[in-house]
Amino acid sequence: MMRFYTLTILLLLAMASCTQQEEVCLRSITNPCVVDFYTYLTDSTGTPKKTLVSLEAASLVVLVGESADTIMPWSTVSRMEIPLSPFRDSTVALLYLDSVAIPDSLTLYYTREEVFVDVACGMAQLYHLDSLRPSRFRVDSALIAEPRLQLNNSDVNVEIIL
Partner 1 sequence: MWKLYFSLLFLLMGASLLAQDTDSSEVAEPAETKSGDSTAKAKKVYLYRIGYDVAKLVQLSNNSGLWQEVQLERINSKNGIMYLETGAGGGSVENEVLEYSTSGFFVRWGLAQNIVYRATMRDVETASIGFRYGGAWCRNSEVKYNIKDPIYGTESLTKPATNMYRHWIEVSMGMKFGLRPKWFLGWTLRGAYKLNSPETTDVSPVLIPGFGRGDRVSAVGFSIYFSYLL
Binding site for partner 1 (CB under 8 A): 2-3, 6, 9-10, 13-14, 16-21, 23, 25, 62, 64, 69, 71, 83, 85-87, 113-116, 118-125
Cβ burial, residue 33 (10 Å; 0-12/13-18/19+): buried
Closer residue to partner 1, CB minimum distance, 60 or 159: 60
99 within 8 A of 76, measured Cβ to Cβ: no
Closer residue to partner 1, CB minimum distance, 2 or 101: 2
Neighbour tally for 105: CB within 10 Å: 15
CB of 132 to partner 1, least distance (A): 19
CB of 76 to partner 1, least distance (A): 23
- CA 8/CA 14 separation, integer angstroms: 10
CB of 56 to partner 1, least distance (A): 25
Closer residue to partner 1, CB minimum distance, 29 or 53: 29
- CA 29/CA 13 separation, integer angstroms: 34
